[in-house]
A and B are shown apart, each in its own frame.
Chain A
Amino acid sequence: GENVEQHPSTLSVQEGDSAVIKCTYSDSASNYFPWYKQELGKRPQLIIDIRSNVGEKKDQRIAVTLNKTAKHFSLHITETQPEDSAVYFCAASSGTYKYIFGTGTRLKVLA
Protein backbone atom coordinates (compact mmCIF):
# COMPACT_ATOMS: atom_id res chain seq x y z
CA GLY A 1 0.00 0.00 0.00
CA GLU A 2 0.85 3.67 -0.09
CA ASN A 3 3.53 5.01 2.24
CA VAL A 4 4.27 8.69 2.71
CA GLU A 5 7.46 9.93 4.33
CA GLN A 6 7.77 13.53 5.50
CA HIS A 7 10.85 15.55 6.48
CA PRO A 8 11.89 17.30 8.60
CA SER A 9 9.89 16.47 11.71
CA THR A 10 10.64 19.90 13.18
CA LEU A 11 11.70 23.11 11.49
CA SER A 12 12.57 26.47 13.02
CA VAL A 13 12.96 29.57 10.86
CA GLN A 14 13.33 33.27 11.49
CA GLU A 15 10.34 35.42 10.69
CA GLY A 16 10.55 36.52 7.08
CA ASP A 17 12.63 33.52 5.97
CA SER A 18 11.36 30.69 3.78
CA ALA A 19 10.40 27.20 4.93
CA VAL A 20 10.44 24.01 2.87
CA ILE A 21 8.86 20.69 3.85
CA LYS A 22 9.41 17.60 1.72
CA CYS A 23 7.40 14.41 1.24
CA THR A 24 7.99 11.25 -0.74
CA TYR A 25 5.38 8.67 -1.68
CA SER A 26 5.64 5.06 -2.73
CA ASP A 27 2.58 4.38 -4.90
CA SER A 28 3.18 5.53 -8.46
CA ALA A 29 -0.61 5.55 -8.97
CA SER A 30 -1.02 8.41 -6.50
CA ASN A 31 -2.52 11.41 -8.25
CA TYR A 32 -3.63 13.86 -5.57
CA PHE A 33 -1.37 15.53 -3.00
CA PRO A 34 -2.91 17.85 -0.39
CA TRP A 35 -1.24 19.74 2.44
CA TYR A 36 -2.99 20.32 5.76
CA LYS A 37 -2.15 22.77 8.53
CA GLN A 38 -3.00 21.99 12.13
CA GLU A 39 -2.71 24.71 14.74
CA LEU A 40 -2.26 23.69 18.34
CA GLY A 41 -5.37 22.00 19.70
CA LYS A 42 -7.32 22.47 16.48
CA ARG A 43 -8.42 20.37 13.54
CA PRO A 44 -6.33 19.93 10.37
CA GLN A 45 -7.36 22.23 7.54
CA LEU A 46 -6.46 22.11 3.87
CA ILE A 47 -4.12 24.88 2.77
CA ILE A 48 -3.14 23.82 -0.75
CA ASP A 49 -3.27 20.76 -2.98
CA ILE A 50 -1.85 19.62 -6.29
CA ARG A 51 -2.85 16.98 -8.81
CA SER A 52 -0.52 14.78 -10.79
CA ASN A 53 -1.06 16.63 -14.06
CA VAL A 54 0.43 19.82 -12.61
CA GLY A 55 4.05 20.47 -11.60
CA GLU A 56 3.58 23.51 -9.41
CA LYS A 57 0.81 25.48 -7.77
CA LYS A 58 0.95 28.76 -5.88
CA ASP A 59 -1.40 30.56 -3.52
CA GLN A 60 0.02 33.83 -2.21
CA ARG A 61 2.91 32.90 0.11
CA ILE A 62 2.56 29.15 -0.21
CA ALA A 63 3.44 26.89 -3.12
CA VAL A 64 3.62 23.19 -3.76
CA THR A 65 5.85 21.43 -6.29
CA LEU A 66 5.51 17.88 -7.56
CA ASN A 67 8.12 15.65 -9.14
CA LYS A 68 6.32 12.55 -10.36
CA THR A 69 9.45 10.86 -11.63
CA ALA A 70 11.14 11.05 -8.25
CA LYS A 71 7.82 10.59 -6.41
CA HIS A 72 8.24 13.55 -4.15
CA PHE A 73 6.44 16.81 -3.49
CA SER A 74 7.27 19.84 -1.39
CA LEU A 75 5.57 22.70 0.41
CA HIS A 76 7.21 26.11 0.21
CA ILE A 77 6.25 28.97 2.51
CA THR A 78 7.84 32.34 1.79
CA GLU A 79 8.05 35.39 4.05
CA THR A 80 7.07 33.34 7.06
CA GLN A 81 5.01 34.95 9.80
CA PRO A 82 4.36 33.90 13.43
CA GLU A 83 0.87 32.70 12.46
CA ASP A 84 2.49 30.15 10.15
CA SER A 85 3.65 28.27 13.26
CA ALA A 86 1.77 24.96 13.24
CA VAL A 87 2.08 21.31 12.30
CA TYR A 88 1.92 20.64 8.57
CA PHE A 89 0.88 17.30 7.09
CA CYS A 90 1.32 16.12 3.54
CA ALA A 91 -0.88 13.37 2.13
CA ALA A 92 -1.22 11.26 -0.99
CA SER A 93 -4.19 9.60 -2.58
CA SER A 94 -4.32 7.17 -5.47
CA GLY A 95 -7.98 7.65 -6.12
CA THR A 96 -9.16 4.81 -3.92
CA TYR A 97 -10.72 7.12 -1.31
CA LYS A 98 -7.75 6.47 0.95
CA TYR A 99 -5.74 9.52 1.97
CA ILE A 100 -2.42 8.46 3.53
CA PHE A 101 -0.74 11.15 5.60
CA GLY A 102 2.88 11.84 6.41
CA THR A 103 4.01 12.03 10.02
CA GLY A 104 3.90 15.83 10.18
CA THR A 105 6.34 18.74 10.46
CA ARG A 106 6.22 21.12 13.39
CA LEU A 107 7.12 24.56 12.04
CA LYS A 108 8.19 27.26 14.46
CA VAL A 109 8.55 30.80 13.19
CA LEU A 110 10.79 32.78 15.49
CA ALA A 111 10.06 36.47 15.87
Chain B
Amino acid sequence: NAGVTQTPKFQVLKTGQSMTLQCAQDMNHNSMYWYRQDPGMGLRLIYYSASEGTTDKGEVPNGYNVSRLNKREFSLRLESAAPSQTSVYFCASSLEGVGGELFFGEGSRLTVL
Protein backbone atom coordinates (compact mmCIF):
# COMPACT_ATOMS: atom_id res chain seq x y z
CA ASN B 1 0.00 0.00 0.00
CA ALA B 2 1.26 3.47 -0.89
CA GLY B 3 -0.75 5.16 1.92
CA VAL B 4 -1.38 8.83 1.14
CA THR B 5 0.11 10.13 -2.09
CA GLN B 6 0.37 13.82 -2.96
CA THR B 7 1.35 15.44 -6.23
CA PRO B 8 3.25 17.50 -7.10
CA LYS B 9 5.97 17.47 -4.44
CA PHE B 10 7.33 20.85 -5.51
CA GLN B 11 5.75 23.72 -7.44
CA VAL B 12 6.65 27.32 -8.17
CA LEU B 13 3.89 29.68 -9.24
CA LYS B 14 3.63 33.30 -10.15
CA THR B 15 1.12 35.50 -8.35
CA GLY B 16 -2.30 35.08 -9.91
CA GLN B 17 -1.68 31.64 -11.40
CA SER B 18 -3.88 28.71 -10.48
CA MET B 19 -3.04 25.15 -9.63
CA THR B 20 -4.46 22.00 -8.07
CA LEU B 21 -2.78 19.78 -5.51
CA GLN B 22 -3.83 16.18 -5.84
CA CYS B 23 -4.17 13.70 -3.00
CA ALA B 24 -5.11 10.05 -3.07
CA GLN B 25 -5.24 7.37 -0.37
CA ASP B 26 -5.49 3.63 -0.79
CA MET B 27 -6.42 2.72 2.80
CA ASN B 28 -10.20 2.96 2.31
CA HIS B 29 -10.32 5.84 4.77
CA ASN B 30 -13.48 7.88 5.16
CA SER B 31 -12.07 11.26 6.20
CA MET B 32 -9.53 13.40 4.36
CA TYR B 33 -7.85 16.67 5.25
CA TRP B 34 -5.69 19.44 3.84
CA TYR B 35 -3.26 21.25 6.16
CA ARG B 36 -0.67 23.91 5.54
CA GLN B 37 2.54 24.13 7.54
CA ASP B 38 4.35 27.41 8.06
CA PRO B 39 7.36 28.08 10.30
CA GLY B 40 6.28 28.78 13.87
CA MET B 41 2.62 28.23 13.08
CA GLY B 42 2.28 24.50 13.18
CA LEU B 43 -0.25 22.67 11.05
CA ARG B 44 -3.35 24.67 10.19
CA LEU B 45 -6.45 23.01 8.80
CA ILE B 46 -7.59 24.39 5.45
CA TYR B 47 -10.49 22.09 4.54
CA TYR B 48 -11.62 18.63 5.46
CA SER B 49 -13.99 16.01 4.16
CA ALA B 50 -15.64 13.83 6.77
CA SER B 51 -16.88 11.42 4.14
CA GLU B 52 -17.32 11.09 0.41
CA GLY B 53 -19.59 13.85 -0.85
CA THR B 54 -19.01 16.29 2.01
CA THR B 55 -16.50 19.08 2.55
CA ASP B 56 -16.15 21.67 5.31
CA LYS B 57 -14.01 24.68 6.05
CA GLY B 58 -11.18 24.50 8.53
CA GLU B 59 -9.22 27.28 10.20
CA VAL B 60 -7.79 28.98 7.10
CA PRO B 61 -10.02 28.28 4.05
CA ASN B 62 -9.79 31.66 2.30
CA GLY B 63 -8.20 31.45 -1.14
CA TYR B 64 -8.71 27.70 -1.48
CA ASN B 65 -11.30 25.31 -2.84
CA VAL B 66 -11.52 21.55 -2.49
CA SER B 67 -13.15 18.65 -4.24
CA ARG B 68 -13.77 15.19 -2.80
CA LEU B 69 -13.78 13.45 -6.14
CA ASN B 70 -14.49 10.01 -4.70
CA LYS B 71 -13.59 8.10 -1.56
CA ARG B 72 -9.91 7.92 -2.56
CA GLU B 73 -9.22 11.42 -3.85
CA PHE B 74 -9.33 14.90 -2.30
CA SER B 75 -7.92 17.82 -4.27
CA LEU B 76 -7.00 21.35 -3.19
CA ARG B 77 -7.22 24.20 -5.69
CA LEU B 78 -5.68 27.64 -5.58
CA GLU B 79 -7.62 29.79 -8.03
CA SER B 80 -5.39 32.87 -7.91
CA ALA B 81 -2.20 32.19 -5.99
CA ALA B 82 -0.77 34.81 -3.64
CA PRO B 83 2.67 34.99 -1.97
CA SER B 84 0.93 34.39 1.39
CA GLN B 85 0.07 30.91 0.14
CA THR B 86 3.74 29.94 -0.01
CA SER B 87 3.82 26.97 2.32
CA VAL B 88 4.18 23.23 2.68
CA TYR B 89 0.85 21.51 2.15
CA PHE B 90 0.00 18.17 3.71
CA CYS B 91 -2.89 15.93 2.82
CA ALA B 92 -4.03 13.47 5.48
CA SER B 93 -6.62 10.76 5.86
CA SER B 94 -8.25 8.92 8.74
CA LEU B 95 -10.37 5.80 8.92
CA GLU B 96 -12.48 6.91 11.84
CA GLY B 97 -12.35 10.69 11.45
CA VAL B 98 -13.42 11.37 14.97
CA GLY B 99 -10.63 10.39 17.32
CA GLY B 100 -8.68 8.39 14.77
CA GLU B 101 -5.07 8.50 13.66
CA LEU B 102 -4.22 10.90 10.84
CA PHE B 103 -2.01 9.45 8.11
CA PHE B 104 -0.13 12.18 6.28
CA GLY B 105 1.24 12.38 2.78
CA GLU B 106 4.84 13.45 2.14
CA GLY B 107 3.89 17.07 1.62
CA SER B 108 3.92 19.49 -1.30
CA ARG B 109 6.17 22.53 -1.16
CA LEU B 110 4.56 25.46 -2.95
CA THR B 111 6.32 28.76 -3.65
CA VAL B 112 4.38 31.73 -5.00
CA LEU B 113 6.52 34.51 -6.43
- Chain A residues within 8 Å of B, Cβ to Cβ: 1, 6, 9, 31-32, 34, 36, 42-46, 49, 51, 89, 91, 93, 95-104
Contact = CB atoms under 8 A, between A and B. Distances in A.
B48 interface: yes
Contacts of A6: 42
A103 B104 contact: no
Interface string B22-41: 00000000010101000011
Q: How large is the interface on B (under 10, 10 to 19, 20 to 34, 35 or more residues)?
A: 20 to 34
B98 A93 contact: yes
Given A98-B45, A99-B33, A46 B98 contact: no
Interface in B41-78: 41-45, 48, 50, 56, 58-59
Interface of B: 31, 33, 35, 40-45, 48, 50, 56, 58-59, 90, 97-99, 101-102, 104-107
B43 A34 contact: no
A96 B40 contact: no
A46 B102 contact: yes
Contact of B45 (A9, A51, A100): A100
Q: DSSP majority for the B interface?
A: loop
30 contacts: A1-B59, A6-B42, A9-B40, A32-B99, A34-B101, A36-B102, A43-B90, A43-B104, A43-B106, A43-B107, A46-B101, A89-B42, A89-B43, A91-B43, A93-B98, A93-B99, A95-B98, A95-B99, A97-B48, A97-B50, A97-B56, A97-B97, A98-B48, A99-B33, A101-B42, A101-B45, A103-B41, A103-B42, A104-B40, A104-B42
Given A32-B98, A32-B99, A51-B99, A101 B43 contact: yes
Given A43-B104, A93-B98, A99 B45 contact: yes
Greatest chain B CB density within 10 A among A1, A42, A95, A104 is at A104
Nearest to B30: A97
Nearest to B97: A97
